[in-house]
Structure 1
Amino acid sequence: MPNTPALIGEGVTAISTGSKATKEDLNIARNIFDAVGKTVVIEERYMDAVTGLSGS
């Protein structure tokens, strides 16, 4: 199923960093997801809530 907001650059992506991720890793991930909208960095413990709110 296509993600219409992402197609027009208005998507929202939540990401979290792992314990071994560097700032460079985070910047690379943000650059990738910023291509389709806004990127929000959250704590891993909130990822289930984000999935529930945004649908899967």
Structure 2
Amino acid sequence: MAYTISDACVSCGACLDSCPVDAIKEGNPYTIEDTCIDCGSCEDTCPAGAISAG
């Protein structure tokens, strides 16, 4: 399952701090790289609800 970040991303950084493998990269919106291990911690911490499993 791949996670994606929508345009609802407010670039707050919560997901950056929660990712155990540093798979999230800054941008507008942030992006999730292939190194993602599908743990879901980013989705759980996103206050904007911008991250979802695809």
TM-score (norm 2): 0.33
TM-score (norm 1): 0.32
Q: Max radius of gyration: which structure?
A: 1
Instruction: Please identify which structure carries the higher helix content.
Output: 1
